Amino acid sequence: MKYLVNSREMQKYDANTVSHFKVPGLLLMERAAITFVNELHKQKVDLSEVLIVCGSGNNGGDGLAIARLLFLEGHTVTVVFAGNKDHCSEQNRIQQDILNAYGVPVYTDLPEQIRPTTVIDALFGVGLSRDVTGTYADILCCMNTLPGEKVAVDIASGISADTGAVLGMAFRADITITFAFAKLGSILWPGNEYAGRVIVCDIGITKESWLGETPSVMALETKDILLLPERKSHSNKGSYGKLLLIAGSVNMAGAAVLSAKAAYATGCGLVRVLTPEENRIILQSCVPEAVLTTYDKNAAPGKAVLQEAFDWADAIVAGPGLGKEKTAAQILNFVLEYGTSQEKKAILFDADALNLIAEQNDLPEADIWKNFKIPAVITPHPGEMSRLTGKTVSEIQHHLLQTAADYAKEYHVVCVLKDEHTVTALPDGKKYLNLSGNSGMATAGSGDVLSGVIGTFMAQKITPYQAAPLGVYLHGLSGDLMIRTTGLQGLTASDLICGIKKVLNIYTTKPVDNEQKFVE
């Protein structure tokens, strides 16, 4: 598990290190500068002609210290102080004095005709909260047009460390070398497009500096795949969960096929698909392992049939390719009613199930979710989230974390808000930002695969709080593995299913001593 921080958290952890653990701020600044320079060498950045633009805060102080270290290494360094000299931080003033003592000239304007091999941005740090305008905007614009590799100190200037928003004008880095913990603004869109490659370096601000206040956003790592339950030698298909998929409609059988195949690829013991009769041959041909319960597309199954199917399952997924016809709405209403009647069965709502819920204007969402005994899991993309919340897609994408967190808290659901970096927000306030996956996964059926994966984990009695972020992470890892073969353009949802099998084989399968096992 790794942690991602916002501006307030990072500033507090920095202050805790200084005040509680008595580590001098100048020492942290020196460590940041040394680490930054070492990383420049490690990344083989061309330091023949370096331009460093510094502001008046501690980020600028980092830049001044970096300039000194590069100067002492013998590099040609041009330092521009673009901050307000009347509002310098104490550590920034000290770094100016040190640089002056070494005789390094500091300019207040960008020299004309400069052609740097590397441009280092130390203008603003994580505390920036208002738009960059005027002279500062002009400087950033000029820095972006200069030749040479662009490297940001801690965060690209002009990017909100909290949301990734571009605050008027921003530096476009090729590399961001950040300290202690990754900053949310460098991960979230559009800030990630300005951050380039993000490298996190240790400077002595550690988990101890949290002093009990854990960062609110987490990201899973490959070792977290081991949270999945181990398969036992003495077991049967019932040991690994029974998943009911309410999926597919006429001419949309593919969604049901992909969800079912993904569920089996993830290790589900038994998958049952509730779908229109028209999909029977397709499903039996494509997923012969699945059990089918079919119904007339013009008439919903009777309550007895639905009740039996729901009682049979350990978890339910409703929505992939379901359609929005009257029959689908009737089945969904029964699912919603059923969700309030039991305490152990997890239910996931995806795609058309969410669209149908959004259209039920006579039934407020608070009334839909509030009586669920176990939190429902919802997996909307920004368009579906827009229909659920009334917010525009643009608003949602620019406030991805907050939108998911607010919805999860208000309606007591696990909200998996899908985007470039999918957010999984829990009702208790915890948030996971997914760092696996790639743009090749922006393809038809990818969400259907995800539903099958999360549904399987829930059927295996993994809590929705764990099943959702784990499913999202595994889904992304499968995409990262498969693009090595398919490339970004050629990746399909079916490839993701193949990738799931491969990822699980890599991270969860223990080697079998066949020689010992089959000895006569």
DSSP output for 279-322: GHHHHHHH-TTSEEEEE-TTSPPPHHHHHHHHHH-SEEEE-TT-
**Is the domain of 344 the same as that of 392?**
yes
517 domain residue, yes or no: no
pLDDT at 517: 44
Output the CA–CA distances (angstroms, integers) from residue 484 to 185, 196, 431, 444, in the order listed.
28, 21, 30, 20
Output the CA–CA distances (angstroms, integers) from residue 85 to 95, 96, 105, 137, in the order listed.
13, 10, 16, 18
**Is the domain of 248 the same as that of 140?**
no
Give the number of domains in the chain.
2
**Is the domain of 187 the same as that of 280?**
no
Is the model's pLDDT at 518 over the cut of 80? no
515 domain residue, yes or no: no
CA dihedral sign, ordered 265, 268, 269, 271: negative
Average pLDDT over residues 88-114: 95
**Is the domain of 124 the same as that of 207?**
yes
Is the model's pLDDT at 59 over the cut of 80? yes
CA dihedral sign, ordered 133, 138, 139, 143: positive
Is the model's pLDDT at 228 over the cut of 80? yes
Output the CA–CA distances (angstroms, integers) from residue 446 to 259, 381, 418, 436, in the order listed.
9, 11, 11, 14
pLDDT at 406: 97
Which DSSP symbol is given to 510?
P
Is the model's pLDDT at 500 over the cut of 60? yes
CA dihedral sign, ordered 137, 141, 40, 10: positive
Interacting residues of 437 by C-beta distance below 8 A, sequence separation 6+: 420, 421, 422, 475, 476, 477, 479, 480
pLDDT at 481: 97
Average pLDDT over residues 427-442: 97
**Is the domain of 326 the same as that of 362?**
yes
pTM for this prediction: 0.94
Is the model's pLDDT at 254 over the cut of 80? yes
Domain boundaries, position 385: 236-508
pLDDT at 150: 98
pLDDT at 84: 86
β-bridge partners, 199: 177
43 domain residue, yes or no: yes
Q: 362-385, pLDDT tens digit by residue?
A: 556 667 887 888 889 999 999 999
519 domain residue, yes or no: no
**Is the domain of 393 the same as that of 497?**
yes
pLDDT at 113: 87
Distance CA 326, CA 352 (A): 12
The mean predicted confidence, pLDDT, of the chain is 94
370 domain residue, yes or no: yes
pLDDT at 20: 98
pLDDT at 470: 98
pLDDT at 519: 42
E strand or H helix at 502, and its extent? helix 493-508
Distance CA 113, CA 306 (A): 75
Output the CA–CA distances (angstroms, integers) from residue 75 to 49, 70, 103, 153, 486, in the order listed.
7, 6, 14, 18, 43
Beta strands in 82-194 (DSSP E): 106-107, 118-122, 149-153, 175-179, 182-183
**Is the domain of 165 the same as that of 107?**
yes
For strands 414-417 and 423-425, give the pairing: antiparallel
Average pLDDT over residues 248-270: 97
Average pLDDT over residues 325-341: 93
224 domain residue, yes or no: no
Average pLDDT over residues 358-363: 72
* 299, HSE (Cβ side, Cα atoms, 13 Å): 5
Comparing C-alpha atoms, which of 64, 105, 103, 104 is closest to residue 83?
Answer: 64
Query: Which of 217, 251, 274 lies at the terminal end of a domain, its last residue?
Result: 217
**Is the domain of 493 the same as that of 360?**
yes
**Is the domain of 21 the same as that of 104?**
yes
Show the tokens assigned to 199.
């490298």
* CATH number for position 182: 3.40.50.10260
What is the number of other CB atoms lying within 10 angstroms of the CB of residue 334?
18
**Is the domain of 247 the same as that of 165?**
no
**Is the domain of 117 the same as that of 148?**
yes
pLDDT at 516: 46
Average pLDDT over residues 155-180: 98
Query: Which of 185, 217, 249 lies at the terminal end of a domain, its last residue?
Result: 217
Show the tokens assigned to 387.
């229909």
pLDDT at 69: 98
Show the tokens assigned to 408.
């999860």
280 domain residue, yes or no: yes
**Is the domain of 165 the same as that of 246?**
no
Is the model's pLDDT at 511 over the cut of 80? no
- Least confidently predicted of 203-217, 225-239, 246-260: 225-239
- Least confidently predicted of 148-157, 287-296, 317-326, 368-377: 368-377
**Strand order, beta sheet including 106-107:** 106-107, 76-81, 49-54, 118-122, 149-153, 175-179, 197-201
Is the model's pLDDT at 128 over the cut of 60? yes
Query: Which of 189, 217, 245 lies at the terminal end of a domain, its last residue?
Result: 217
pLDDT at 488: 97
* CATH number for position 492: 3.40.1190.20
Name the residue type at position 468.
A
518 domain residue, yes or no: no
Average pLDDT over residues 101-125: 95
**CB 250, CB 296: distance < 8 Å:** no
Average pLDDT over residues 164-168: 97
Phi, psi at 389, each rounded to 5°: -105, -20
